[in-house]
Structure formats: structure tokens, C-alpha cells
Amino acid sequence: MALAILGGLRRGGAPAEGFIVVEPHAPQRQRLQAELGIEPLAVADASLAEAGLVVWAVKPQMFAEAAAPCAPFVGAALQLSIMAGIRSEVIVTASGSPRVVRAMPNTPALIGRGIAGLYAREAVTEADRAQVQAVLAPTGSTLWVAQERDLDAVTALSGSGPAYVFYFIEAMMQAGAEMGLEPAQARRLAQETFAGAAALAAQSDEPPEVLRERVTSKGGTTYAALSSLEASGVKAAFVRALHAARDRAEELGR
């Protein structure tokens, strides 16, 4: 995700010297230098004090270790976290800065088609919000939520959401192959159907249930498929699954 952000900003014309990256792993430092022209630091140093915005893009379990050497230099900066589960008060304590924004992006950010849920603490200004949106713009769109706990729901819907789409694509591909289509044909049909239906829903003013009903003729093929899904309790199970994801996000935060 950090590479998606950096790559998008560099492709948008941001100069390599405008970034200070701390990357302890040599292969990743070499990759950043080769692909983006950025020369990362192996360890944090006083140059971090020049940063107006600090982006925390580490695995949550590594945050405490990563933050400790940075803390003496970043207390005056705006903090943007793209880590799952780490609550904002933890970032305030670790960084020394009350200006913290948490983001929950998703993997389509890698191709500029993601959406990130955002939460800002009270100390964050409108200018800070604008800066965060500018940084995340190359990865897709953003959505602000009023309460930090809402990010757990964002995690369940959009953060984990691409996996649900891939899951249904897998099922459609399997069914297509079982019905005699070549695997490549089934994959293309499934992927294009998801992409087209999502685009139609995005461009239509009508709710999804109306769009669904327009495809569904009483007694027809779609009706047979949806009746089978309803009889199997698929929608109810899917809703329960998203609640389970939200509950797990809450647990990780605690």
C-alpha cells in the first residue's frame, strides 16, 4: 500500500527528493530506488524532523518497534496511519502528535481504483484533511467517517471487500467450468460481469434492488438462480459474515 501511494505521487510529478522513507529491509530499499528514484534510510534519523506529514505504513504488530526511533523527530507533523487495528490514541502516544488521521484503504488502490475510509481526530485541521486527501488521491477515492469505531465497519465492507468479490468470481468460474466452458472463458465472463454490473450501479440513480429486479423475470433463469440463493440463506449468511469481520476488527483494536 505504501508503494501504491508513493508510486501514484511520483507518477503525478512529485519529486523523489520530496520524500523521506525509512525502510529497514535492503531489498525494498533497492526496489524503491530502482522504481521510484527514492533513496530510503535504513534507520530513522533527524532528517525526519523536516517532514510535515508522516505516513505509518507498517504491519500493526511492528508499529511500536517502528515508532520508537522516529518519535523524537515527528511530534510536530501530521500523522497518517494506513495500519489496520491500531487506534488513534496509540499513535498520539507513540508519535507525540495530536494530529492523527486513520485510513482504511483496500487493495484496488494498487491500480488507482481503491476507496479509503478516513477518520480524523479533533486536532486535525481542514488543511490537514485536504493534505491527506491529496496524498491518497492516486490510490482512488476517500470517505470520511465521524467516529473512529466506524472504521471497523469500513474494514468489514471495503477493506475486506475485494476478497468477497474474488470469492464470488471463483464460484462463478467454477460453475462455468462445470457447465462446459473453458476456464479462461469462465474467468473472463465472471470478471467482466462484476466490472460491468459495478459500473452500472455506480452510474445509476436507482438502488441495487431495482437494478436486480430488472434482470429478474418471474420464472426465468435469473429467478431460478436467486430463488436457489435465497433458499440456501446466502444473503443472510453474507450479512453475518460482514458482522463477523467488523467484530474481528474491534477485537484487533482492543
Q: What is the pLDDT of residues 155-193, one digit of tens each?
A: 999 999 999 999 999 999 999 999 999 999 999 999 999
CA neighbours closer than 13 Å in the CB half-sphere of residue 15: 2
Q: Would you say residue 84 has pLDDT above 90?
A: no
Architecture of domain 161-253: Orthogonal Bundle (1.10)
For the ranges 47-51, 83-87, 151-155, the lowest mean pLDDT is seen at: 83-87
Mean pLDDT of 208-231: 96
Taking the C-alpha atoms of residue 222 and residue 216, their distance in angstroms, rounded to an integer, is 5
Do domains 2-147 and 161-253 share one topology? The answer is: no
Answer for the pair 137, 154: CB distance below 8 angstroms, yes or no: no
**Residue 27: its pLDDT value, please?**
95
CB 118 within 8 A of CB 102: yes
Cα 36 → chain centroid: 22
Number of Cβ within 10 Å of residue 190's Cβ equals: 19
CA 217 → CA 54, 196, 213, 226, 232, distances in Å?
Answer: 54, 20, 8, 11, 20
Average pLDDT, the chain: 95
Phi first, then psi: give them for residue 102, nearest 5 degrees. -105, 135
What torsion, rounded to 10 degrees, do the Cα atoms 93, 101, 74, 62 define? Answer: 70
User: Using one digit for the tens of pLDDT, what is the confidence trace for 44-67?
Assistant: 999 999 999 999 999 988 999 999
Confidence band, pLDDT 50/70/90 cuts, at residue 97: very high
Cell triple for 55: 505516513
- What integer pLDDT is reported at residue 88 of this predicted model? 96
In three-state secondary structure terms, 212 is: helix
Residues 6+ away with beta carbon under 8 Å from 42? 22, 23, 24, 26, 29
Element (H, E) at 114: strand 114-120
- Mean predicted confidence (pLDDT) in 107-116: 92
- Whether the predicted pLDDT of 20 surpasses 90: yes
CATH level 2 (architecture), domain 2-147: 3-Layer(aba) Sandwich (3.40)
Q: Where are the domains of the chain?
A: 2-147, 161-253
Instruction: Please count the residues of the chain.
Output: 254
pLDDT digits 0-9 by tens, 190-205 = 999 999 999 999 999 9
